[in-house]
Chains A and B, each alone.
Chain A
Amino acid sequence: MSLSAAPFDKRVVLRDSLAVAIPVGTYGAAFGAAAIGSGFTVLQTCLLSLLLFSGASQFAVVGVMGAGGSPLSAIATGSLLGLRNGLYGLRMAPVLSLHGIKKIIGAQLTIDESTGVALNQESRGLNASRYGFWATGIGVYFFWNLFTLIGALGAQSIGDPSAWGLDAAVPAAFLGLVWPRLIDTKSKLVGFTAAILALLLIPIAPAGVPIISTALLAIVFGWRK
């Protein structure tokens, strides 16, 4: 971090941050609609975006509950997907050096996007990295919550999305979340075997188990390089 005192152009970093925050935030509408379709109320849907604030975990909670799973399997699946935010925190801690209330707010804003933009700004210096983190985190938080409400109210007004046959939107959302992560042979292998394992377990295991059990594949494939 020898460049920490270097000045940076706030407008450039802000533009990078908003270029991520606005499109990502609009996906909140898809989440809002999916949650209502899975039986959540508008209040519960908005609380998931305000309090949980991690897209994949939120979709997992409504996906597992919508498929008839128990709260325990929803909590376990959502939390396992949230585990990576903890590792992002580990990575961001020396960059942000937060204490007290800022640590609480900063932790809540630690997601894929805020961490990603912050790390991309590192070549511009420590201050640019911090600025990118906060601008992206706050931007995604604002737009994600706004669009969650819009999506939830919209879905509520048309009734149950599955009655319209719109329910492919939920698995499509998961596909869109996993797609950019399938970058090499191992990740594709994990994705493929997880899909097969889940398919085999659907008829024989309680709802939620076919999802959470695939975490074992991540451990098996990740154990060795």
Chain B
Amino acid sequence: MMSALWIATLVTSLVCFILKYIGYSLPDSLLNKPRVQRINSLIPIALLSALVTVQSFGAENSVVIDHRLAGVAVAAVALRFGANFPTMMLLAAVVSAVIYRL
């Protein structure tokens, strides 16, 4: 029996490898389409922004405001002031843990 987590792990890995591989196997005229490039550069922005929201506010099927939002807000401020990735994540984790304990 394959669990949902195993399916997600193995199938996403396979699909993403195929995507990488076909990049080396296609004619490069595809890349020259500006529309393809524009959409391709916007897709990660849309998905990652949605992931920020869902992971900050989502709880099952409801929107909640809790310690996570405080952590994310601190992360945003840290990024605004040029903090590097590990520092920003550490600050977010610590602030959310502290608020959680209050």
CB within 8 Å of B: which residues of A?
23, 26-27, 30, 39-41, 44, 47-48, 51-54, 56-57, 59-61, 63-68, 70-71, 74-75, 77-94, 96, 98, 103-104, 106-108, 110, 161, 164-179, 181-182, 186-187, 190-192, 194-199, 202-204, 207, 210-215, 217-219, 221-223, 225
List B47-102 residues whose CB lies under 8 Å from chain A: 47-58, 60-63, 67-72, 75-76, 79, 84-86, 88-89, 92-93, 95-101
For B56, give its contact among A44, A171, A223, A225 (CB under 8 Å).
Answer: A171
A176 to B100, CA, bound (A): 22
A45 to B30, CA, bound (A): 34
> Across the interface, do A110 and B23 meet the contact criterion of CB distance under 8 Å?
yes
Q: Smallest CB–CB gap between A191 and chain B, Å?
A: 4
Q: Smallest CB–CB gap between B95 and chain A, Å?
A: 7
Q: Smallest CB–CB gap between B15 and chain A, Å?
A: 4
For B71, give its contact among A168, A182, A207 (CB under 8 Å).
Answer: A168
Determine the chain A residues whose CB is within 8 A of the CB of B79 once the complex forms. 175-176, 179
Given A83-B40, A107-B17, A92 contacting B71 (CB threshold 8 A): no
Secondary structure type dominating chain B contacts: helix
A128 to B79, CA, bound (A): 32
In the complex, residue of chain A having the shortest beta-carbon distance to the beta carbon of B38: A222
- B1 part of interface (Cβ distance < 8 Å): no
A188 to B17, CA, bound (A): 29
**Interface centre among A74, A194, A197, by most B CB within 10 Å?**
A194
> Across the interface, do B39 and A219 meet the contact criterion of CB distance under 8 Å?
yes
> Across the interface, do A48 and B43 meet the contact criterion of CB distance under 8 Å?
no
Secondary structure type dominating chain A contacts: helix
Q: Smallest CB–CB gap between A189 and chain B, Å?
A: 10
> Across the interface, do A165 and B47 meet the contact criterion of CB distance under 8 Å?
no
> Across the interface, do B5 and A40 meet the contact criterion of CB distance under 8 Å?
yes
Given A39-B5, A78-B16, A169-B89, A175 contacting B54 (CB threshold 8 A): no
Instruction: List 24 A-B pairs, Cβ < 8 Å.
Output: A40-B5, A51-B13, A60-B51, A71-B4, A80-B47, A84-B41, A85-B16, A86-B20, A90-B26, A90-B28, A165-B67, A168-B92, A172-B75, A186-B42, A190-B49, A194-B46, A198-B49, A199-B57, A202-B57, A207-B60, A213-B50, A218-B47, A219-B39, A222-B41
> Across the interface, do A223 and B39 meet the contact criterion of CB distance under 8 Å?
yes
> Across the interface, do B10 and A171 meet the contact criterion of CB distance under 8 Å?
no
Determine the chain B residues whose CB is within 8 A of the CB of A204 once the complex forms. 61
List B1-26 residues whose CB lies under 8 Å from chain A: 4-17, 19-24, 26
Q: Smallest CB–CB gap between B5 and chain A, Å?
A: 6
A197 to B47, CA, bound (A): 11
A166 to B74, CA, bound (A): 13
Q: Which 4 A-B pairs have the closest CB atoms?
A: A89-B23, A168-B71, A165-B100, A168-B96
**Interface centre among A41, A168, A212, A218, by most B CB within 10 Å?**
A168
In the complex, residue of chain B having the shortest beta-carbon distance to the beta carbon of A188: B45
